[in-house]
Amino acid sequence: MSSVPAHGADRVRVLSMNGGLEFDRGTSVSQPPSTFDLFVDRGFRALSHVGVMLVLLIIALLLWEIGGKALPGMQRAGLGFITGTTWDVGREQYGILPAIWGTMYSSLLALLIGGVAGITMAVFLTQDFLAPRVAAMFRTIVELLAAIPSVVYGLWGIFVVIPFVRPIAETLHDEFGWIPFFSTSLSGPGLLPASLVLAIMILPTVAAVSQDALRAVPFRIKQAAYGLGATRWEAILRVIVPTASTGIFGALVLGFGRALGETMALAMLVGNSNQITLSMFSPANTLAALLALNFPEAGPREVEILMYGAMVLMAITLIVNVIGSWIMLVANREPRR
């Protein structure tokens, strides 16, 4: 048995017994929580509970306020409001099916573009393709995209994106016009420029959350893949990305929710036309743009209808988040092979 002398009350005796180490109980650094520690812990728990209750209270008040104003519109318009295709204030005909279609179409197209770009960027910035300082600089640049106002994105889309994609759209329409996605020409605002700008707007969210998911993968998993003879790209695509797939899917759900609620940029770029079409070059409409453009001049009866539309948009966002949370829950419960 050997011991190492220490100074004062904090000395630790090291005992070599059967090749192991043992610490003297009387000199252990672990201590029961003090009264102050218990007070801080209970205070933090209480503040956490209060924060959760405040969030639930805000959601309840929001639903109460919007739902109360939307109820007369629901009673007057019924389900025909959701399935209708005509929006005519003069004749009091209100239908938001084209706006629902445009919302989902533009958001899914933006998610396809921004999701692929965001995940690719996350892999590029976390898997040692760049020096740490250069990777940190690129991460900062991507995060700064989230600070740009929506109206600036809208103006950039009008003066840069639309002139850039118009020749490409015309070529695709002339050569492949028989395909429904290219069946119309791009005369100005439309689904494609709106989706491109929207993809850039959701890129910081997808990239940031995907980077966190990839960093959370234990390094020993990557080492094990290399030990089994995997190449760098095999380790990334067949081991690291599948292991982080739940977090990456969460990033896509957050990006999709961000796209569903975007207002100003889409109001400037989507074209605000109530029609249902598969063509990416055709103008369309979204629920958020419809609400933003009609509220300033709406009368009391139209405000009730617009509140009804706001409830529909909230319901779509809620359904998307519930489905995403359920898929992530099921994925976490399934054993990984």
252 lies in some domain:
yes
Same-domain check for residues 165 and 285: yes
* DSSP-derived secondary structure letter, 282: S
Same-domain check for residues 99 and 223: yes
Q: What pLDDT was estimated at residue 303? A: 87
Same-domain check for residues 26 and 161: no
The amino acid sitting at 243 is T
Same-domain check for residues 96 and 235: yes
Number of structural domains, the chain?
A: 2
Question: How far apart are the C-alpha atoms of 104 and 194, rounded to whole Å?
Answer: 12
Same-domain check for residues 24 and 120: no
Question: How far apart are the C-alpha atoms of 250 and 209, rounded to whole Å?
Answer: 8
Same-domain check for residues 281 and 201: yes
Q: CATH no. for residue 329?
A: 1.10.3720.10
Given a cut of 90, is residue 51 above it in pLDDT?
Answer: yes
Average pLDDT along the chain: 84
247 lies in some domain:
yes
Backbone phi, then psi, for 271, in 5-degree steps?
A: 105, -20
CB 157 within 8 A of CB 196: yes
Question: How far apart are the C-alpha atoms of 157 and 255, rounded to whole Å?
Answer: 19
Same-domain check for residues 256 and 326: yes
Q: What is the DSSP string of 192-208?
A: HHHHHHHHHHHHHHHHH
Given a cut of 70, is residue 11 above it in pLDDT?
Answer: no
Q: What is the DSSP string of 15-48?
A: EEETTEEEE-GGG-S--PPPHHHHHHHHHHHHHH
Same-domain check for residues 313 and 223: yes
Residue-wise pLDDT tens digits, 96-148: 899 999 999 999 999 999 999 999 999 998 888 888 888 888 888 888 888 88
The domain containing residue 26 runs over which residues?
1-31
Same-domain check for residues 21 and 145: no
Same-domain check for residues 273 and 178: yes
Residue-wise pLDDT tens digits, 226-267: 888 888 888 888 889 988 888 899 889 989 988 988 888 888
The SS3 call for residue 264 is: helix
> What pTM did the predictor assign?
0.81
